Amino acid sequence: MTTGSSVLAGVSPRSDRSNDASPETPHAPNKAPATGVQAAGMRAVAARMVAFYFRAPVKAFFRGRIDYMGYARAINPHIVAEAKWSWRMTTPAVLAHAIQTEGWGFIPKQVLPPLMANTCIGAVLYTAYLHSLSALHEPSSHQTKRVYPPPPPSVTFTAGFIGGSIQSVVAAPFDALQTRFRTADILEGKHKTMWHYAGDKLRSIGMQGIFAGWTLSFVKDAFGAAVFFGTFETVKSQAYLAFVSRYYGSRTRDTLLEQSIPRLQQDHDDRPVIRPHYMLEPIFLLLAGVSASITSQLIRHPLTEIQDVHYRRLEALDFQAHYDHKPSHIVRRYYHAYEETFAQCKALAKRVGGWRNYLYRDFFMSTIKQVPSTAAGLIVFEIVRRKYSFENDEVMIQHEDARILLT
């Protein structure tokens, strides 16, 4: 058999399904929201666990919308004194010191609100992506364990773009809170808890303040998620199927017969049935997660550099908007703020030797620190999605001399 053998999609019936049992139809209720919430939560937990290994602040390891450890670090004497790194500066130790100092009420007042916000934003992204993918690719709407044929890259890119766009809208208030957050306000008693801070700040800045700088967030979230999910699904499905077809399609018939599995008695096809090695798919799943993290960082990292410069102007814009409420003046100020941001970034880029050096500085370490949690989040996302899916018929890839069974 040659590597150029044609590949056809086929479905073989399940032998363990009785005729009188009510089959689970492909049009069963959509469970995408539950999948999105669980994947987002597990991704946050994975980031916290691996952060200890890298000995870096959680915000640098996996940048959530709101840093839930900001206040805990502000009251930690070792971090305030900028002492040499020790185990007392790890996330568990910093959190334990905060609880010892502030009491157990510190968790629901200062830690839980940012964690809930980050999980909510992640759940919105995953859920919006799943619903968009179901609308754009009919086989994906069946909620089966294996989607065949898999969605093409253009579809997953579009679904990711839609999911990232929706995420940017939902995340706008949280971005506004994070960029204006000052630990000193809580230390001085201006805001008793994160709940009080969020309510007071959102009321003071209004809608124009909430969506200040939203254009940059939209571009970063939409295109970042498009590349993120497009790469993940392409490597996980397209690359896996191509490898399996090419690898087993190039084997001799004697080798295929040695690796074949027993056939059903009613099966009159004399071609051997091959089930791929059980480790192949998890390997491609891991590669998909790592590849998605790296490629999405190519979009997110440079835009984050620009965002950091632009967000420093927001409090000045809030102050000006407080005394001048004319819509035309507000729009003009925000437009000029983007111009000033670009001019400042241009000057910073010239200082370090060009745009590439400026936008991608510290790219390697930032990506290395983020890859484990992102890959883990995508793997959990895929596992949970399969857990909540429904049993479907096996997929049989037809070759000239063999059949490849995907379960």
Query: What are the C-alpha distances in Å from 251 to residues 6, 103, 176, 266, 271?
Result: 15, 65, 58, 26, 13
Q: Which helix or strand (DSSP H or E) is residue 398 part of?
A: strand 394-398
Does residue 301 carry a pLDDT above 60?
yes
Mean pLDDT of 346-352: 93
- The DSSP secondary-structure symbol of 180 reads H
Query: How many C-beta atoms lie closer than 10 Å to residue 363's C-beta?
Result: 16
User: Residue 357, class by beta-carbon neighbours within 10 Å (0-12 exposed, 13-18 middle, 19+ buried)?
Assistant: exposed
Strand partners, 394: 12
Residue 292 in contact with residue 374, Cβ under 8 Å?
yes
> How far apart (Å, rounded) are the C-alpha atoms in residues 90 and 92?
6
Percent of the chain with pLDDT over 90: 19
CA distance 234 to 241: 10
| Banded pLDDT at 12 (limits 50, 70, 90) | very low
Average pLDDT over residues 401-405: 64
Q: 141: which DSSP letter?
A: G
Residue 246 makes CB contacts below 8 A (sequence gap 6+) with: 3
pTM of this prediction exceeds 0.85: no
Q: At what angle do helices 112-136 and 32-54 cross, to 10 degrees?
A: 130
Q: In what order do the strands lie in the sheet with 8-12?
A: 8-12, 394-398, 403-406, 273-274
Q: Which of 281, 235, 250 is CA-nearest to residue 395?
A: 281
Tokens read off for 210: 């909430």
CA–CA distances in Å: residue 28 to residues 144, 191, 213, 229: 10, 47, 41, 24
Q: Which residues contact 253 (CB under 8 A, 6 or more apart)?
A: 1, 272, 401, 402
* Structure token digits, residue 401: 């001399």
Instruction: Please give the average per-residue pLDDT across 70-87, as a whole number.
Output: 82
Asked if pLDDT for residue 52 goes beyond 60, the answer is no
Average pLDDT, the chain: 75
Residue-wise pLDDT for 368-402, tens only, equals: 877 776 667 667 766 776 666 655 556 666 666 66
Q: Does residue 146 register a pLDDT over 70? A: yes
Query: CA angle, 142 as apex, 137 and 144 as ends, to 5°?
Result: 115
What pLDDT is attached to residue 399? 62
Instruction: Calculate Rg over the CA atoms of the chain.
Output: 26
CA–CA gap between residue 268 and residue 356 (Å, rounded): 62
Percent of residues, the chain, with pLDDT higher than 70: 65
Q: What is the DSSP letter of 28?
A: S
Identify which of 15-19, 79-83, 324-328, 394-398 has the greatest average pLDDT: 79-83
174-178, 256-260, 324-328, 344-348: which has the highest mean pLDDT? 344-348
Q: What is the pLDDT of residue 20?
A: 42
Confidence of residue 358 (pLDDT cuts 50, 70, 90): very high
Domain regions of the chain by residue span: 34-406
